[in-house]
Amino acid sequence: MVKETIRVYARLKPLGRRQQAGIYSVDDEKSASSLEITVPRDLADGFVNNKRESYKFKFQKVFDQEAKQDVVFDSIAKPVAECALAGYNGTIFAYGQTGSGKTFTITGGAERYSDRGIIPRTLSYIFDQLQKDNSKVYTTHVSYLEIYNECGYDLLDPRHEASRLEDLPKVTIMEDPDQNIHLKNLSLQQASNEEEALNLLFLGDTNRMIAETPMNQASTRSHCIFTIHISSKEPGSPTIRHSKLHLVDLAGSERVAKSGVGGHLLTEAKYINLSLHYLEQVIIALAEKNRSHIPYRNSMMTSVLRDSLGGNCMTTMIATLSIDKRNIEESISTCRFAQRVALIKNEAVLNEEIDPKLMIIQLKREIQELKDELALVTGKERTSQLSQEELLQLDELIETFLEDNDPESTLDVEADMRKIKYCFTYLKNHSKISDGKLLSHHNCEEKDTSEEAGREELKKMKELLQQRDNEINILVNMLKNERKKAQDALFQLNAASAGSISLKQSHSTNLEESQNPSRFLSLKEAKDLSSSVQRLSFISRMKEVKMSLGYQEAFEVFKQDHADSITIGDNEQLLKQRFAEAKCLGEKINEVRNKINHLKGKITQRHIQRAALAVSNPSEVLDTLDPVEEKLRTQIEEEKKSYDTMFNRLKGLKVEIEHLQLLMEKAKMKLQKDFEAWWTEEGTNLQIQREKTELVSSPNTTMVYPQFIKSSQHLLANSFSETTRANSNEDLSGRNNSIIFNNPSTKIRTSPSSSTSIPLTGDSQTDADILAFIKARQNILQKKGLGKK
């Protein structure tokens, strides 16, 4: 950023033949010049100031009458052109009254080549420099704007043959959200060399001249801004620099009062003064400290030159002075204006921007270069992924590091971002697993094929296997128990049928004493149970009963006959097989891992041996490949392959096992549901039967449970009939807590030889529950085929 005040120069026009010179003196000092103007006595009274006689103004430099165009260019324009070439914006504007030499200074005289002004000289200089500089690619454009009566005109519009200024395309000002000024309709003409640029300047000047009529005198009353646009870019760099160099020929600064014109011309003069008046206001505002608002927008000219005044620009002003006696007053006025301009500070910044497309191309190239360099330094191509071997090595390194209790131990994985990232991922996963159930250091890395994962899988599967083994054992034991109980039941029933024990006793004593209480419920227990569930509704009591041993027992038997239990059993077998396979695979994987480690150890040994050989025998060339090492590496590769195969199989097994487990879970749930449905249905049936029986049974003591009877018939048809026959002469009626056969009061059709009524607790609800229990048991036995025996 370059921060500096606007440079102000003065140029005195040579006096014409008939002109009378004013009194002035130029004082050249080292870094600045001063111009002292003395007001002649005959003028002092009237126009200027009757008290003071001389005025002294400071300039960067004062160019006296004889100063030539080349000198002016070198001092004033060349430094600005250089800045424009470097990427800074620049402005040179000429300010002065009409006829003071503004156009002569900016554009030049029409007669002699040596009279060329700043514009052609600057163009020539710039294209010269561009040609010399091969380090950058430049593009140059020019635009030529004329502002007349607050209207902008494009002097370079090639489509238009202007006969009047008003016929030229009108240029308007646009402001973007960042308050940058854009000129709409102002054409930017590319000029690739000096000739093209000069042609464009000539075209613009011609248009301006043609458009000028004796009536509008546009050349003196309009502002002209010739702009050179330069963009530069170093080959391969994404940075582009843009700069604008405005060369401005302002309208005459003379006062309206003095111009002495009226009508149409007066309007023009007003305009001229108005826009210069606004320029002055802008300059005053800029010179004031802490002034926040600068009235740039008041006129088109100040808007266009906004950046040149108090903005991002290196600006230079040339005050052109007609130093003849008649123009002293205007000259002093011009100088005063120049003094104010000299106070304005501008901040020129380098106009650089980055082309994203070029940036991408450049970065891609850079990446490739770095990759090449890396390959050159390390001797091997670096891919984005680490090899299996590298991963294995890393795993080992990390393990060693984790197991090392030395607080100063370090994990050295070279300056390789891939490895560093891998370590972080490994440690992250490790810490996650540690937070969970497994606290071992030997946890698996997510999905890669490292042996850690294999070990982890094995451990999990072993645990599952153990769990399943336990489950199977339990099931087998239950099966055994069930068989034993069934045999016991058979034995007991046979004994009953042999008539060795009276039915009365069988309920009051025998069953109580000799049978497993979980198998057959004694009457006493039945009573206990009935009293405990007495006040509950049937369904809710069924839920209570669910927890009882009988319920569980019923379930176990139900389960065995259920079609799904075969599927479950098959799956259990399959699962067992798979676990065994997984276990075996895990062991094999461990073996292969150990082999790989062993081979790696051998390679390391080989390295040490060869290094030792190099020390003892330096003539030995160690650059050659070691065939032993090569062989070891091949072996590792082969082991790695089988490791991968096994590991993948293990992974497949894991999926299969999980699936099987899910299937079993589902089948078990279905079984449970089916059983519950069956259990409830049986209970409900019993309830209905009980209600029916209540309606028809004796109101006194005896109750008949047809469902039970029916079941008994199915279950124990032969044995009970025998029992009946054997005990037919016993009078059991009227006895509480006894089973009565052939109850004469029953109207329900029963077996011709047997019917059973059970006077239990006397509470119908409780009795029903107990009977439900007994019935369930009988059904179980029936299911098992015992009833048919």
Candidates 19-27, 98-106, 666-674, 705-713; binding stretch for ligand ADP (CB under 6 A):
98-106
Residue 79 engages ligand ADP in binding (rule: CB under 6 A): no
Candidates 91-99, 481-489, 550-558, 765-773; binding stretch for ligand ADP (CB under 6 A):
91-99
Work out what residue 100 binds among Mg ion, ligand ADP, none; the CB cut-off runs from 5 to 8 Å by kind: ligand ADP
Q: In whole angstroms, what is the distance from residue 515 CA to residue 538 CA? A: 28
SS3 of the chain: helix, strand, coil, percent, to 5 = 55, 15, 30
Residue 320 engages Mg ion in binding (rule: CB under 5 A): no
Candidates 26-34, 100-108, 287-295, 760-768; binding stretch for ligand ADP (CB under 6 A):
100-108
User: What are the tokens at 347?
Assistant: 């901040």
Residue among 145 and 230 whose Cβ is closer to ligand ADP = 145
Residues β-bridged to residue 95: 319
Residue 334 engages ligand ADP in binding (rule: CB under 6 A): no
**Minimum CB separation from ligand ADP for residue 66, in Å?**
9
Q: Residue 94: which of 201, 226, 214 has the closest Cα?
A: 226
Candidates 97-105, 412-420, 670-678, 741-749; binding stretch for ligand ADP (CB under 6 A):
97-105
Residues near ligand ADP (CB under 6 A), total = 14
CB distance 300 to 77 below 8 Å:
no
Work out what residue 125 binds among ligand ADP, Mg ion, none; the CB cut-off runs from 5 to 8 Å by kind: none
The HSE-up count of residue 262 (CA atoms within 13 Å, CB side) is: 0
If you search the block for the tokens 């009274």, which residue do you land on? 45
The HSE-up count of residue 58 (CA atoms within 13 Å, CB side) is: 10
Q: Residue 34: which of 343, 345, 335, 337 has the closest Cα?
A: 335
Residue among 308 and 320 whose Cβ is closer to ligand ADP = 320
Residue among 97 and 738 whose Cβ is closer to Mg ion = 97
Among 24, 55, 104, 271, binds ligand ADP (CB under 6 A): 104
**Helices marked H in 33-154 — which ranges?**
41-44, 69-72, 78-86, 102-106, 118-132
User: What are the tokens at 126?
Assistant: 């710039």
Residue among 330 and 639 whose Cβ is closer to ligand ADP = 330
Question: Interaction with ligand ADP in 232-261: which residues (CB under 6 A)?
Answer: 252
Q: In whole angstroms, what is the distance from residue 213 CA to residue 235 CA? A: 49
Among 89, 91, 100, 331, binds ligand ADP (CB under 6 A): 100
Work out what residue 99 binds among ligand ADP, Mg ion, none; the CB cut-off runs from 5 to 8 Å by kind: ligand ADP
- Entry field: residues in the chain: 789
Among 22, 87, 101, 683, binds ligand ADP (CB under 6 A): 101
Residue 99 engages ligand ADP in binding (rule: CB under 6 A): yes
Show Cβ contacts of residue 596 under 8 Å, excluding neighbours closer than 6 positions.
392, 636, 639, 640, 643
**Minimum CB separation from Mg ion for residue 69, in Å?**
15
What mask of x and - would describe binding to ligand ADP in positions 199 to 238, judged by CB under 6 A? ---------------------x------------------
The HSE-up count of residue 416 (CA atoms within 13 Å, CB side) is: 20
Q: In whole angstroms, what is the distance from residue 109 CA to residue 102 CA? A: 10
Residue 320 engages ligand ADP in binding (rule: CB under 6 A): yes
Residue among 102 and 244 whose Cβ is closer to Mg ion = 102
Residues near Mg ion (CB under 5 A), total = 2
Q: In whole angstroms, what is the distance from residue 295 CA to residue 575 CA? A: 89
CB distance 201 to 248 below 8 Å:
no
Residue among 153 and 555 whose Cβ is closer to ligand ADP = 153
Q: In whole angstroms, what is the distance from residue 779 CA to residue 771 CA? A: 12
Residue among 329 and 445 whose Cβ is closer to ligand ADP = 329
**Minimum CB separation from Mg ion for residue 103, in Å?**
3
CB distance 446 to 395 below 8 Å:
no
Residue among 103 and 327 whose Cβ is closer to ligand ADP = 103
Work out what residue 109 binds among ligand ADP, Mg ion, none; the CB cut-off runs from 5 to 8 Å by kind: ligand ADP
**Minimum CB separation from ligand ADP for residue 47, in Å?**
21
Cα angle 536, 539, 541 (rounded to 5 degrees) comes to: 45
Work out what residue 312 binds among ligand ADP, Mg ion, none; the CB cut-off runs from 5 to 8 Å by kind: none
Residue 98 engages ligand ADP in binding (rule: CB under 6 A): yes
Work out what residue 13 binds among ligand ADP, Mg ion, none; the CB cut-off runs from 5 to 8 Å by kind: ligand ADP
Question: Interaction with ligand ADP in 11-70: which residues (CB under 6 A)?
Answer: 13-14
Candidates 99-107, 176-184, 265-273, 666-674; binding stretch for ligand ADP (CB under 6 A):
99-107
Question: Interaction with Mg ion in 88-117: which residues (CB under 5 A)?
Answer: 102-103
**How many other CB atoms are found less than 10 A from the CB of residue 317?**
27
Q: Residue 309: which of 298, 319, 322, 296 has the closest Cα?
A: 296
If you search the block for the tokens 């490949």, which residue do you land on? 625
- Point out the residue whose Cβ comes nearest to ligand ADP: 101
Residue among 294 and 323 whose Cβ is closer to ligand ADP = 323
Question: Interaction with ligand ADP in 624-653: which residues (CB under 6 A)?
Answer: none
If you search the block for the tokens 């006296």, which residue do you land on? 64
**Minimum CB separation from ligand ADP for residue 234, in Å?**
40
- Point out the residue whose Cβ comes nearest to Mg ion: 103
The HSE-up count of residue 617 (CA atoms within 13 Å, CB side) is: 6
Question: Interaction with ligand ADP in 557-586: which residues (CB under 6 A)?
Answer: none
CB distance 284 to 271 below 8 Å:
no
User: Which phi-psi region, left, alpha or beta, contains residue 301 (left: φ > 0; alpha: ψ -120 to 50)?
Assistant: alpha
Amino acid identity of residue 216, one-letter, is N
State which H helix or E strand residue 339 sits in. helix 328-341
Residues β-bridged to residue 315: 91
Q: In whole angstroms, what is the distance from residue 38 CA to residue 21 CA? A: 11
Q: Residue 457: which of 433, 485, 478, 479 has the closest Cα?
A: 433
Residue 189 engages Mg ion in binding (rule: CB under 5 A): no
Q: In whole angstroms, what is the distance from residue 78 CA to residue 415 CA? A: 53
Among 22, 87, 96, 204, binds ligand ADP (CB under 6 A): 96
**Minimum CB separation from ligand ADP for residue 219, in Å?**
7
**Minimum CB separation from Mg ion for residue 301, in Å?**
15
**Minimum CB separation from ligand ADP for residue 177, in Å?**
38
State which H helix or E strand residue 655 sits in. helix 627-696
Question: Interaction with ligand ADP in 106-125: which residues (CB under 6 A)?
Answer: 109
Going by the DSSP 8-state scheme, the letter that residue 34 receives in this structure is E
User: Which residues contribute to the site for Mg ion (CB under 5 A)?
Assistant: 102-103
User: Which residues contribute to the site for ligand ADP (CB under 6 A)?
Assistant: 13-14, 96, 98-104, 109, 220, 252, 320
